[in-house]
């Protein structure tokens, strides 16, 4: 079974989160801040793409419902992933703060 997707679906790009190895090797807070900033940027980019796809369909009739649905789902999953990673960092920070000195 050979599935072919319309060009609009195939052109949707999922933004990648920068790998930890691309952060600065000095271990400074700026490397962490850069990684968080890149993750926030990718979430905002996915949400912007979903917004653009929806407005193009509704206002101009460009695209199709499937493209809008895929872009919206991608943006939602991107946001949920970011929230889960943030929750893990907060939990780890709280555990570290509970440790006796």
Mean pLDDT of the chain: 82
Percent of the chain whose pLDDT exceeds 70 = 71
* pLDDT value of position 11: 57
Interatomic CA distance for residues 101 and 33, integer angstroms: 26
10-36: pLDDT as tens digits: 555 555 655 555 444 555 678 888 999
Residue spans per domain, the chain: 29-98
30-79: pLDDT as tens digits: 888 899 999 999 999 999 999 999 999 999 888 899 999 999 999 999 99
| pTM across the whole model | 0.66
């Amino acid at each position: 079974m050979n599935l072919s997707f319309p060009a609009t679906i195939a052109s949707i790009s999922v933004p990648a989160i920068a790998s930890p190895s691309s952060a600065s090797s000095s271990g400074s807070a700026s490397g962490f801040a850069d990684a968080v900033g890149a993750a926030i940027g990718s979430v905002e980019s996915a949400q912007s793409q979903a917004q653009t796809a929806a407005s193009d369909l509704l206002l101009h009739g460009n695209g199709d419902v499937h493209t809008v649905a895929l872009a919206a789902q991608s943006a939602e999953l991107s946001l949920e992933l970011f929230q889960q990673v943030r929750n893990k960092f907060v939990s780890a920070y709280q555990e570290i703060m509970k440790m006796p000195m």
